[in-house]
Structure 1
Amino acid sequence: MSLATTVGDSFVVARRNLIKIKRVPELLVFTTLSPIMFVLLFAYVFGGAIAGGDPQQYREFLMAGIFAQTVIFGATTTGAGLADDVQKGIVDRFRSLPMAPSAVLTGRTLSDVINNVIVLVVMSLTGLLVGWRIHTSVLEALDGYVLLLLFAYAISWVMAWVGLLIPSVEVLNQASFIVIFPLTFLANTFVPLESLPGPLRVFAEWNPVSAITQAARELFGNTALVAPSDAWPLQHPALYTLVWVVIILAVFVPLTNLQYRRAASR
Structure 2
Amino acid sequence: MKDNRKLLAKIWNYRWLYLMLVPIVAYYVIFKYIPMYGVTIAFKDYNVFKGVLASPWCGLKVFNKLFANKNFWLAVRNTLILNFATLLVSFPLTIIVSLMLNEVRSAVFKRVTQSILYLPHFISWVVVAAISVNMFSVTDGTINMIVERAGFKAIPFLSDNTWWVVTYVICNVWKEIGWGTIIYLAALTGVDESLYEAAYLDGATKFQRLIYITLPSIKSVIVTMLILQISKMMTIGLEAPLLIGNKKVLGVSEVISTYTYRIGIERAKYSDSTAIGLFQSVFNIIVLVLADKFAKLIGEDGII
- TM-score, structure 2 length as denominator? 0.31
Q: More helix per residue: 1 or 2? A: 1
Give 1 or 2 for the bigger CA radius of gyration: 2
